[in-house]
Amino acid sequence: MQGTYESFKEAVFSITGIDLNSYKERQMKRRIEALIAKNGITSYSDYAYLLKHNKIMLEEFINYITINVSEFYRNPEQWRTLEREVIPYLMDHFGRDLKIWSAACSTGDEPYSMAMLLSKFLPLNKIKIIATDIDKNVLQKADLGIYNVKSLKALPDEFINKYFIKLNDKTYQISSDIKNCVIFKQHDLLKDNYPENCDLIICRNVLIYFTDEAKNKIYTRFNKALKKDGLLFVGSTEQIMQASQLGFTGYKPFFYRKM
């Protein structure tokens, strides 16, 4: 393939501000080359030129390289831990006015799940969740709040019955009551400022695609964004190596507490 991947990474950074050096190279390069082939392009340099001059192709590229796999109540046993142990812990330590950030939220399944779960503890007008993602297309989908029934398969029936409108056999729309609990914003974990004084940060199944150096940088910034004794909720395939050096200690499986 004409042109080098190194020069392509430089071009992408100048066009989008996304630093591909922070992603695992073999995985990212494979995804990009598949996208190049799909569009019938034969070189990195030609593709970089098109990304700079074709807005539709640029949006397709950003949407493709940012991994957007999400569902409501993903790994239900971890949500049960949230309900039985984590939320009571947070309310004991920080009161009822909780500041929660869902980072790399994709299409909104996760922050909406959190809002519904919190509704068992708090009135809806007391729930406010910050939800961010680098991809503005998935944020638009999240704001629309329309989901395929498959993404609801792990969600308790009580939430589906209470907070969703069935549009047809395959599609549901989330209620405005829950949508109003979540504030969506575009955000890049590698370069943008983080919310401050968070009680809980949720960032799951995203950092597995980053290099170890980028991961540690993000975990360090998460730590600074949390209050003392605040919690970080990670994915079922993720583990913070040398957590204590980054200011964390284990709290429950997949939950880390800021020391």
CB atoms within 10 A of CB 109: 23
Mean pLDDT on 108-136: 95
Question: Is it the case that residue 66 has pLDDT exceeding 90?
Answer: no
Query: What is each CA distance from 129 to 9, 202, 243, in whole angstroms?
Result: 34, 10, 26
Mean predicted confidence (pLDDT) in 61-72: 74
pLDDT tens digits along 150-165: 899 999 999 999 999 9
* Closest C-alpha to 202, from 97, 84, 117: 117
Per-residue pLDDT reduced to its tens digit, 12-38:
888 877 788 878 788 888 888 888 888
Place of tokens 């680098």: 134
User: Is residue 135 packed enough to be buried (19+ CB in 10 Å), middle (13-18) or exposed (0-12)?
Assistant: buried
249: helix, coil or strand? strand
Q: Which CATH superfamily is domain 76-258 in?
A: Vaccinia Virus protein VP39 (3.40.50.150)
Q: In the chain, which segments carry CATH 3.40.50.150? A: 76-258
Model confidence at 143: pLDDT above 60: yes
Is 177 in contact with 124 (CB distance < 8 Å)? yes
Percentage of the chain lying above the pLDDT 70 cut: 97
Residue 3 pLDDT greater than 80, yes or no: no
Copy the structure tokens of residue 116.
């519904």
Dist CA 257 CA 259 (whole Å): 6
